[in-house]
Structure 1
Amino acid sequence: MRMKLKAEKIMAWIANGLSILYVIIVIFGLFLLKSNTQEFQAMFDEITQQQGQTISTDMMYMSYIIQVVALVIVSIIAIIATLIMKANRVLAASLFIVVAIISLFVSNLVAMVLWLIVAIRLFTKKKNKNDGTRGQFTKENSWNPEEELKDKKNDPYIY
């Protein structure tokens, strides 16, 4: 009998969707940095001077590229973990934990929390002990009245 992982799958796909949305937002930020108009450059310099930082737009652009690459890799691994969840729950849970740890460094926090919850639920989920004999009459689950009478005679607390 297969495990039911409906809640875990839903949470994993929500986290995957949020991660992909975050990738799109960061790529949009890359396009804004690449436009590099004079107005944007002046505003960017003013903001960094107010904060007491000296960072160029090229450094910011490179950090965004690194973040996009990391987010794409994380999203791909998370989608793979979601797809193999039913076949191998322990491997999927391990992949979700790895993805959640990497997501911490790229500020994908909402998806990270959802992936951690999915991983914990997958680790704590037990396989069903039924092997497909539910409702079927087998020797193990058959009723033996002679054995029950013997037990009643030997044990005065069985009624």
Structure 2
Amino acid sequence: MERTYSEPRKWIRGKGMITIWCGCCYYFTNDRQGNPPGILRHDQVEQLPLMIKWMIKRMVRWSILAIPNSCIINIYDEEDCIPLHIDHHNLLRLFYMVSFMRKINILFGQEIDVFGPGEFRGSVEILLPVGLVLVLKGNGTDVAKHCIPGV
């Protein structure tokens, strides 16, 4: 479906990761139609893929997580990043992050310095190894800004 897949053109270093939306579509900025940031409730996207559903069922069985109703899959090229942000409040809380291909650093803090495209420094840095599930809740989702520096 149209909003399921997003591949912005690479216009500067660190920008342009591929995003696949499943269950709902969320935009971090105004979209082309002028919709403000948040869940686009009237746009259709694909449902959760079977592999993701299998993984969710396994983590629920292990008491790692509650059943989510959507997921965002980010595919990075070298130096792509997730810019500094606080997730919009109309997204359901608990957030789960899993890295499938390589370990990544995630920065957290109320103040995070931006030095250039994909270059950040924050007060807390967490290394997310491949396959580990990071659960964000409370101040980790509602107060602390976070980002993923260029991979």
TM-score, structure 2 normalization: 0.22
**Structure 1 or 2: larger strand share?**
2
Instruction: Give the TM-score taking structure 1 as reference length.
Output: 0.22
Relative contact order higher in (CA < 8 Å, ≥ 6 apart): 1
Larger radius of gyration: 1
Structure with the bigger percentage of helix: 1
